[in-house]
Amino acid sequence: MRLHKFRFFGCLMLRFCHQYDLLKQWVAAPNLFDDACSSVEFSVCRLSAYHRRFTYLLTYLLTYLLTYLLTYVLTYLFTYLLTYLLTYFLASGMRRMERVVWMALVVVLTVSVVLLSVFSGRFFDGGLCVVTLTTSRNDENAPVSSRRRYRTSDEMLYALYGVGDRQFTPYDQPLLDYVRALVSRPALDRPRQLSGTNTTDTSQVGQSAFVDRLLSGRRDGFFVECGAVDGEVKSNSLFFELKRNWTGLLIEANPDCHRALLDKNRRAYVLRACLAPDRRPSTARMQFAGRRGGIVDQMSPSHRAFISALNRPDVPVNCFPLNTIMAALNVVHVDYLSLDVEGPELEILRTDDWTRLRVDVVSVEYRVISRSGTDVERPATLRKLRDLRRFFRDTGIYREAGVLPSGNDTFGIDVVFSRI
């Protein structure tokens, strides 16, 4: 009896140490990639990411310990009862039928203990095999899901067109998996393919330098740039990647710009999509015009007239809420959000759930171009700026940090807000 108890306890400790070693490797991994990224000047040591991972670790360990404690107690009791019963009916003069009943009871108890131990072990051994967005540089050696499930037609209707919002939510796992499947990460075996030599500040009117001062030169941050175009020309995020060791997400719906963005091979996630102006996925028509392109039914009348005069084609693009995209990447803290989508900036911001996603600094383009494309539609520009100021003021958690370029609001391009 004593020997059996110590053997079981020893097996328990060995299995726990094995699981803890796997968990320790998982928690020690950076937010996006492993330590091999340091050879290509890329590392992420986000405090919020480590907080999340240690929260998961603590929950996992507590559940693991409680389950195995229960298994140990039940095994001890059943073993004691089994020994007692065997001793009792062997030492006593039972009749044959009574012995059969007692033996059947012993067999049932033994099988119950074995099944409990096996299934609890299988449950925890498979716990790390459901990670779909791996952190290993060698994907072939990374843990992946052992089973692939096809999405139903209802799930795809919601993911693509937002149909069935009463049945689904923006945080349902099938939708998050679909968004995650559209995200690409850089090829770490080749360097960035930047064409320019200016790596100090490539932003249009000094947005990068302005935000950098607001954040006091913060390092190892996370950015989201929506309207990333090719990821280099007039990029608001490239400075932070090169000079402050940040990473982040680059969102671009234009397929031509998306191709150029992938060729740049920046050290960030890339998503070909647009941010949804509603709190559900959708498919929108996008008209291309370089940096001036945008969603057709979300442009101002003057902007739409300018684009239409160019006779450019429009194509369908996927749109997802910002919270959905961040949930798919397991990101809950964004240091800098750059929003330049030629029209629906305010509608996109209204979809954000600020309790789920913390954003420290937001820069929003508010300029509305005229029908000629070379001038500013002044009433519409000032009205959009006024609406943005009212929105951020009503949140109660942001203050206006400035308009860029500074001076006249009418001829400004971006307005910047900082979290209080």
Asked if 113 and 53 sit in the same domain, the reply is yes
Asked if 193 and 90 sit in the same domain, the reply is no
> Has residue 408 been placed in a domain?
yes
> Has residue 158 been placed in a domain?
yes
Asked if 199 and 115 sit in the same domain, the reply is no
CA–CA gap between residue 104 and residue 98 (Å, rounded):
10
> Has residue 349 been placed in a domain?
yes
Asked if 90 and 161 sit in the same domain, the reply is no
Domain termination site, one of 82, 104, 135: 135
CA–CA gap between residue 253 and residue 271 (Å, rounded):
8
pLDDT at 328 over 80: yes
Q: What is the pLDDT of residue 9?
A: 45
Q: Which tokens is 78 given?
A: 């059943």
Asked if 320 and 249 sit in the same domain, the reply is yes
Domain termination site, one of 101, 135, 169: 135
> Has residue 14 been placed in a domain?
yes
What is the DSSP code (8-state) at residue 141? G
Asked if 344 and 377 sit in the same domain, the reply is yes
pLDDT at 181 over 60: yes
Contact 286, 296 (CB under 8 A): yes
> Has residue 142 been placed in a domain?
no
Asked if 258 and 160 sit in the same domain, the reply is yes
User: 86-136, pLDDT tens digit by residue?
Assistant: 666 666 655 555 666 666 776 776 776 666 655 554 444 333 333 333 333
Asked if 221 and 299 sit in the same domain, the reply is yes
Question: Which contacts qualify for 104-107: CB closer than 8 Å, 24 or more apart?
Answer: 106/82
The overall average pLDDT reported for the chain is 77
Task: Tell how strand 247-251 and strand 269-271 pair up.
Answer: parallel
Contact 257, 274 (CB under 8 A): no
Q: What is the pLDDT of residue 126?
A: 38
> Has residue 145 been placed in a domain?
no
Asked if 131 and 168 sit in the same domain, the reply is no
Sole residue written with tokens 């090169």: 242
Asked if 108 and 203 sit in the same domain, the reply is no
Does an H or E element contain 249, and which? Answer: strand 247-251
Asked if 197 and 124 sit in the same domain, the reply is no
Q: What is the pLDDT of residue 177?
A: 93
Q: Which tokens is 8 given?
A: 């079981």
Asked if 174 and 260 sit in the same domain, the reply is yes
> Has residue 148 been placed in a domain?
no
The whole-model pTM stands at 0.67
Q: Residue 131: which domain range?
A: 2-135
> Has residue 140 been placed in a domain?
no
Number of domains in the chain: 2
CA–CA gap between residue 261 and residue 380 (Å, rounded):
31
Task: Tell how strand 333-339 and strand 222-226 pair up.
Answer: parallel
CATH number at 290 reads 3.40.50.150
User: 269-284, pLDDT tens digit by residue?
Assistant: 999 999 999 999 999 8
Question: Which contacts qualify for 410-413: CB closer than 8 Å, 24 or more apart?
Answer: 410/376, 410/378, 410/381, 410/382, 411/376, 412/366, 412/367, 412/385, 413/204, 413/205, 413/365, 413/366, 413/367
